[in-house]
Amino acid sequence: MSTVPFSERAWSHVADRYADICRHPFVTGLADGTLPDQIFAGYLVDDAHYLAGYARALARIASRLDDVEDVGTWATLAAGAVAAERTLHLGELSRRGLDVDGRPPSPSCVAYLAMLAQHALDSPVEVAVAAVLPCFRVYVEVGRQVAATAGGLDRHPYGPWIATYDSADFEASVRRAERTADRLAAGSTFEGSMLTAYAAATDREWHFWDEAWRAGGQALRR
């Protein structure tokens, strides 16, 4: 049995796909500030839809956990961390005069949320936990990397977004979620399914960025 925690083995398992995310023009444009604001705004709308569904998946997982401490942790993640992110998104959209309800979620968003909802309802709880982890880990890693290459965030066009994910509070939330996964994986016979769910969700993260890039580019060409 491996002594390396599941969360670290899972992250190594998706290293190539994470590298694809970092190379994506949406993320590189986010880092250097050249991402067109119209594309970023479209992403924010879609991500606000996503976060609402993500919070529901986290709440459902919290209700299924056996350990009382884990239940509290995951209820807090659903009610607190996600709410804070969504507040940022809605604030940024309001500043741009955009309404989430005026645009439906993208196909990538719908597919991603459907996958998470199915896991949260039907999969072994450790598999459901593994499926929602990449959203946490990808964003803290992207936030850290983008902040390192963006320079000072006070004048960066996307500084508030970057600062949200490159923060000690957000990283602490990620680590709390990963500790639950590590404990569950240690006594589970479903570790292979956990890795599969983790990899599938990481792939969905790439498609989410890509959908925003392509849809925004089409809108700019009209």
Q: What percent of the chain has pLDDT over 70?
A: 94
198 Cβ contact list (under 8 Å, min separation 6): 10, 13, 14, 130, 131, 133, 134
Q: Is the pTM of this model over 0.85?
A: yes
> What average pLDDT does the chain have?
90
What is the per-residue pLDDT across 9-35, written as a single tens digit (0 to 9) for each? 999 999 999 999 999 999 999 999 999
Identify the pLDDT of residue 149.
Answer: 86
What is the per-residue pLDDT across 116-159, written as a single tens digit (0 to 9) for each? 999 999 999 999 999 999 999 999 999 999 999 887 788 899 99
Question: What does the alpha-carbon distance between residue 39 and residue 201 come to, in Å, rounded to a whole number?
Answer: 23
* CATH superfamily entry for domain 6-221: Heme oxygenase-like (1.20.910.10)
Which helix (H) or strand (E) element contains residue 183? helix 168-186
Identify the pLDDT of residue 100.
Answer: 78
Give the amino acid at 55: A
Identify the pLDDT of residue 217.
Answer: 60
Question: What does the alpha-carbon distance between residue 163 and residue 47 come to, in Å, rounded to a whole number?
Answer: 17
Identify the pLDDT of residue 153.
Answer: 82
